[in-house]
Amino acid sequence: MSATQPLKPAPIPEWIRVRVTEGDNFKDLKQMVRSGRLHTVCEEARCPNIFDCWNRRTATFMILGDVCTRACRFCAVTSGRPTELDLGEPLRVAESVAELGLKHAVITSVDRDDLKDGGAGIFARTIRAIRRRSPGTTIEVLTPDFQGDLESVRTVVDAGPDIFNHNTETVPRLYSRIRPKAVYASSLALLRHVKSLAPHMVTKSGLMVGLGENEDELLDVFLNMRAHNIDVLTVGQYLRPSKQHAEVVRYYRPEEFARLKEKALEMGFGHVEAGPLVRSSYHADEQVPVRTSLLAG
């Protein structure tokens, strides 16, 4: 091989390959999303768990449109200038949650830096609409950073979600390359503020691996999270959505994820999900008992 010839990317390992199964539940949920003019992060971010989750009739609804004002190097969601603010969206999401009979609903969004509150008001309306239509459903939000605006954070917290998630995504050293419009310290401060407003609300954050970080950096982030009273951690393998996105530096093996989970639990997290296909909403309903333990404590 010539010294100037580029190396071929490493093949995706066997333990990351996804089984594609479009069962009746998958088709039903897909039809519901289309008819309700809704967006899901499952589709927009090309989540590898979409077949598993949709066949179990679970989905993560993405509000505030499908165009993001940022262009993170890891994310498949379309970036640009959003043109919509659909005030009827919260009700349609709530109706879909009720029709699906979801025990646990996850609501996320694109970044909307074009809006004064970053879209916090629509998050709050969506939470309240779900509460009215499905009072027995627990609600998780996965929010943007609202550009560090803590009043926007308060708006969402005051609506009363059960779990407040905001992802740190990667280690601080890689922010300028992977998440250039975000600030690591601000993401942690956001979640600490949630705890100051609502001590019994479950806080959650997630990381991708395989972008060039090392284990010591990951463990430092875990410790920082615990210092900010974050309760739940998710760790998953970064998968490159397209050739325009950041390359995968390496694939972590299942035993490496197991070791990271063990070390994270030793630090005091209430729940940890770590594995090749783990994403923010992976087994989200299983994290609700953490709230019960917080209330009991």
| Alpha-carbon gap, residue 214 to 218, rounded angstroms | 6
Average pLDDT value for the chain: 84
Alpha-carbon torsion 208, 213, 218, 224, what sign? negative
In terms of Cα–Cα distance, which of 97, 66, 63, 60 is closest to 79? 66
Percent of the chain having pLDDT more than 70?
76
- On whether residue 279 sits in a domain, the answer given is yes
In terms of Cα–Cα distance, which of 196, 126, 53 is closest to 142? 126
- On whether residue 233 sits in a domain, the answer given is yes
Domain total of the chain: 1
In this prediction, residues 151-156 reach a mean pLDDT of 98
- On whether residue 157 sits in a domain, the answer given is yes
- On whether residue 244 sits in a domain, the answer given is yes
Q: In which domain, by residue range, is 39 found? A: 19-296
- On whether residue 240 sits in a domain, the answer given is yes
Q: Are 125 and 132 in contact (CB under 8 A)?
A: no
| Alpha-carbon gap, residue 47 to 31, rounded angstroms | 18
Q: Are 231 and 271 in contact (CB under 8 A)?
A: yes
17-21, 134-138, 197-201: which has the minimum mean pLDDT? 17-21
28-32, 39-43, 81-85, 230-234: which has the minimum mean pLDDT? 39-43
Q: Are 258 and 276 in contact (CB under 8 A)?
A: no
Alpha-carbon torsion 134, 136, 142, 145, what sign? positive
- On whether residue 165 sits in a domain, the answer given is yes
Q: What is the pTM assigned to this prediction?
A: 0.85
Mind listing the pLDDT tens digit for each residue in 252-277? Answer: 999 999 999 999 999 999 999 999 98
- On whether residue 286 sits in a domain, the answer given is yes
Inter-CA distances, 277 with 112, 150, 165, Å: 27, 32, 18
If 0-12 CB within 10 Å is exposed, 13-18 middle and 19+ buried, where does residue 51 land? middle
Beta strand pairing status for 202-209 and 138-142? Answer: unpaired
pLDDT confidence of residue 1 = 39
| Alpha-carbon gap, residue 137 to 105, rounded angstroms | 7
pLDDT confidence of residue 295 = 62
Q: What is the DSSP string of 221-237?
A: HHHHHHHTT--EEEEEE
Percent of the chain having pLDDT more than 90?
54
- On whether residue 207 sits in a domain, the answer given is yes
pLDDT confidence of residue 5 = 46
| Alpha-carbon gap, residue 3 to 28, rounded angstroms | 52
pLDDT confidence of residue 245 = 85
Residue 234 has pLDDT above 90, yes or no: yes
49-58, 138-147, 236-245: which has the minimum mean pLDDT? 49-58
Looking at residue 135, which CATH number applies to its domain? 3.20.20.70
